[in-house]
Amino acid sequence: MANWLVNHWLSVLVLVTWLGLNVFLFLNCFMIKKSATKNRYLSMLLCSALAWARASARCLNFNSMLILFPMCRNLLSFLRGTCSFCRRTMRKQLDHNLTFHKLVAYMICLHTAIHIIAHLFNFERYSRSRQATDGSLASVLSSLSQEKEGDSWLNPMQSPNMTVIYMTFTSIPGFTGVIITIVLVLMVTSSMEFIRRSYFEVFWYIHHIFIIYFIGLGIHGISGIVRGQTEESIKESHPHRCAEFFEKWDDHDSHCKSPQFEGNSAESWKWILAPGVLYIFERILRFYRSQQRVMITKVVMHPSKVLELQMIKRGFSMEVGQYIFVNCPSISYLEWHPFTLTSAPEEDFFSIHIRAAGDWTENLIKAFEQQHSPIPRIEVDGPFGTASEDVFQYEVAMLIGAGIGVTPFASILKSIWYKFRHADHNLKTQTIYFYWICRETGAFAWFNDLLASLEQEMEELGKVGFLNFRLFLTGWDNNIAGHAALNFDKATDVLTGLKHKTLFGRPMWDKEFSTIATIHPKSVVGVFLCGPQALAKSLRKCCHQYSSLDPRKVQFYFNKENF
């Protein structure tokens, strides 16, 4: 627990601050709405459900304001650049943007549920009060109709025959509330891991109905259906003084007059205006960059249905480990998919590797496989920053890629090759451990030439210990295993041609971390993963377990690619 707090104290602080603000806004609004003089008569009509509805609405607005910021990728990339001289603990917070986005979404769902339930109670009490004929204060307040009192009504149900269902679907707050709820349910359910992995297009299209959510939220309260007593009416007929004399409000000689009410002003649009404008600017910038011409200079089909595209684009500048969004108009005008750059900043082109993992990627690969057809047009937006940009800020780095998750580390390894070729002596990193976990032998061919060149380069420079390969094959048959065993004594590996032997099975992470902690007892080790969540959980646990409480001894910092 102590190691976990050492590595994540700032994340905990951000989370606690966010939760604290939610609690403060809820309780503050709850107490104000419950005790405010202008809401006294409405509270008599609705009881505490009014305060519950308004307090949850305040938190709903607050979180709706926050949810767009983590998705402003250009803003995050800019902040990462301006924080390049900040401590890594500060920069790491930017890598949790998607996690924070999801947490805010869950909080929106929670307060939406509270808000809906509270207003269902409110509508039921509105209906019951309007139908009452017992001469109670609730029935008198509900009888202040538009016809009788001009615009000074309190109960929106102006007829005893009006039902809750009718009120829900005919009023602006009710109808927009239904639309917002449906949109929210669709967005949350389509964001489930299974849907995103197997049916990314479904997730992508449905998620963009967030526009309807924000429009509905902005106009949700404009009708002023929740009403409070006017300031002038409070002076003439203070509820604490006149509520018990409601039977004499209409008497000419009474010192208490019928209260006058007005709709509360809409608030939601004030919360979402600034982030909405910022996000619109973000999308305009993305659209402008995406319209710049991209020239495809080379197309390579690798084993295991992996397509490599090498491209050039005017003004394109990248750092290691960054990613771009790619669109192919001939497949879909609207769909944009993220891919990590596999080229190095030192190269005069940028490249991506695309594995068939869905309808869109399969269609793209088929489009490039058709030899007699013109090359499809590609649009590119980016690049955007990721955690891998910080790899050279660590003395020791563990790069862990699973399958196609090796792509960000291909960029890093290429950059290392160029740095050594140009005798860059300012490299802070002293040792790199590169783990690549593949299910099939064909995957190793994706970057086999790169790995062989790096291995040879390190040997020629006398830096054999700088780059350590750990290649693991998790899927094999007896013929492959037997062939590898028979040729184990050879100088090079029979599967990859490298001097580092391919290992069969999955890595034993406790052993790997223990060994690295022993070899580098006083180093700061950056652990970088591009792979599944289950592997991330294991690696995060190892980072906490093998980090020393003494800051002068070995420390492991976990970083995961998120986009």
Number of domains in the chain: 3
Share of the chain above pLDDT 90, in %: 18
List Cα–Cα distances, 21 to 17, 48, 268, 511, in angstroms: 6, 22, 17, 43
**pLDDT at site 17:** 94
> Amino acid identity of 398?
M
Of the spans 59-68, 323-332, 538-547, which averages the highest pLDDT? 59-68
- Tens of pLDDT, residues 27-78: 999 998 888 888 888 888 888 888 899 999 999 999 999 999 988 888 887 7
pLDDT confidence tier of residue 478, bands split at 50, 70 and 90: low
pTM of the model: 0.79
Q: Are residues 296 and 217 in the same domain?
A: no
Report the SS3 class of residue 357: coil
pLDDT confidence tier of residue 183, bands split at 50, 70 and 90: very high
Give the position of tokens 């707090």.
5
- Domain membership of residue 32 (yes or no) is yes
Q: Are residues 423 and 541 in the same domain?
A: yes
Q: Are residues 322 and 470 in the same domain?
A: no
For 368, the domain range is 292-384
Q: How many helices and strands (H and E) does the chain possess?
A: 22, 14
Q: Are residues 219 and 322 in the same domain?
A: no
- How far apart CA 105 and CA 183 sit, in angstroms, is 12
Contact 150, 88 (CB under 8 A): no
Q: Are residues 405 and 505 in the same domain?
A: yes
**pLDDT at site 225:** 82
Alpha helices in 159-313 (DSSP H): 164-170, 172-190, 193-198, 200-207, 210-219, 231-236, 239-242, 268-290
- Domain membership of residue 241 (yes or no) is no
- How far apart CA 278 and CA 86 sit, in angstroms, is 25
- Domain membership of residue 9 (yes or no) is no
Q: With a cut of 90, say whether residue 83 has pLDDT above it.
A: no
Say how many Å lie between the first and final Cα of the chain, rounded: 28
Report the SS3 class of residue 58: helix
Comparing CA positions, the residue from 340, 427, 336, 318 lying closest to residue 381 is: 336
- Tens of pLDDT, residues 258-287: 888 888 888 889 999 999 999 999 889 888
Helix-helix angle 407-421:448-460, to 10 degrees? 30
**Structure letter (DSSP) for residue 257:** P
pLDDT confidence tier of residue 212, bands split at 50, 70 and 90: very high
**pLDDT at site 424:** 61
400-414, 487-501, 541-555: range with lowest mean pLDDT = 487-501
- Tens of pLDDT, residues 95-124: 788 889 999 999 999 999 999 999 888 888
The dihedral region occupied by 352, where left means phi > 0, alpha psi between -120 and 50, and beta the remainder, is: beta
Q: Are residues 408 and 425 in the same domain?
A: yes
Q: With a cut of 70, say whether residue 239 has pLDDT above it.
A: yes
Q: Are residues 372 and 404 in the same domain?
A: no
